[in-house]
Homo-oligomer: A and B are copies of this chain.
Amino acid sequence: MPLPRDCRALLDEVSAHNARALGRAITLAEEGGDRAGELLCALEEIPLPEAATIGLTGTGGAGKSTLAARLIDHFRASSRRVGLIAVDPSSPLSGGAVLGDRVRMMRHACDKHVAIRSMASRGRLGGLSAATASSARLMKLFGCDPVIIETVGVGQAEFDIVRLADLTALVLAPGLGDDIQAMKAGLIEMADLLVINKGDLPGAEALRRDLEPIARDRGRALLKVSARDGMGIDDMTATLDALFCQASQSGALADKRRRASDAETLDWALELLRHRLEPIVGAQGKALRDKDPRVRAQMAIQDCFLSL
């Protein structure tokens, strides 16, 4: 049966757990333009089911994709729908072979209760944070709980993505070299939970001992798992549940969601301004071009303001 053209009707199909409708809605939102605007406006009118978003991040090689697959299995075993948004700010490929998709696809491709979407940053209309937030909302409408937001890398772009989640697990693994430095560099700020994956390898226990004092000082839970063998996954999901309850009750979850909403708003604002500023900067005359870029920037902002 063909999908409805009307945005509200399409969203009703998503609510009714129509996977094709979900895919179409996410694509429409990503394409931007008027149709996306209509869709997102219609989405704002619909109260979403209560659901958690879980962020999963860490440097490459820590085994996040394998861990994400295990988490999906766990939630599916209790008949929950699960969403996964794999965000790779350092890849140009949207919808393609990103972040271990092949691994994921083999297990979950035919499961209508699992919604998977890959997002990359190039060729994207609008900001990646805003697109991720919209997709997460659509997956919640579909009935996903949780929605997992997975990203690789721990830079600013990745930090901006995981800020959208209610809870974030930072995945580490022995032998990747930068873990203690990373913790000292404040990477621990990104996470509610530190997970040492590949827990069966030599070095995993030493890493856990090294991280323990840092985790304790900052009140972060520290776990050791092996995604490949399935070890420690139940502990991890139980810890996530406990942290979620705690955060709900203390009001920390509401604060987190406010800040995530602020981050999404800022992302939209900067995208709107980027579109206005780009032609203004491009059109600056020779006299101005010879100046310091910061002076040029100030002038461009003034011109932008005058044109609003």
Chain A residues within CB distance 8 Å of chain B? 37, 40-41, 44, 59-60, 88-93, 96-97, 120-124, 128, 130, 133, 152-159, 177-178, 181-182, 185-187, 258, 261-262, 264-270, 272-274, 277-278, 281-282, 284, 289, 291-294, 296-298, 300-302, 304-305, 308
Contact = CB atoms under 8 A, between A and B. Distances in A.
A294 B298 CA distance: 24
A274 B270 contact: yes
Contacts of A296: 261, 265, 268
Contacts of A294: 37, 40, 268
Given A92-B186, A155-B89, A185-B92, A269 B282 contact: no
Contacts of A97: 177-178, 181
A90 B269 contact: no
Say how many copies of this protein the assembly contains. Answer: 2
Given A181-B96, A185-B96, A272 B258 contact: no
Nearest to A36: B294
Given A92-B154, A154-B122, A293 B265 contact: yes
Given A185-B93, A308-B305, A265 B156 contact: no
A156 B305 CA distance: 26
A211 B292 CA distance: 40
Nearest to A90: B153
Contact of A281 (B120, B121, B157, B262): B262
B187 A92 contact: yes
A41 B130 CA distance: 36
Closest 9 CB pairs of A and B: A90-B153, A268-B297, A269-B297, A121-B156, A90-B155, A121-B155, A265-B296, A305-B305, A265-B293
Contact of A185 (B123, B181, B187, B302): B123
B122 A156 contact: yes
B156 A124 contact: yes
B40 A93 contact: no
A272 to B, nearest CB: 6
A89 B91 contact: no
Nearest to A178: B97
A186 B123 contact: yes
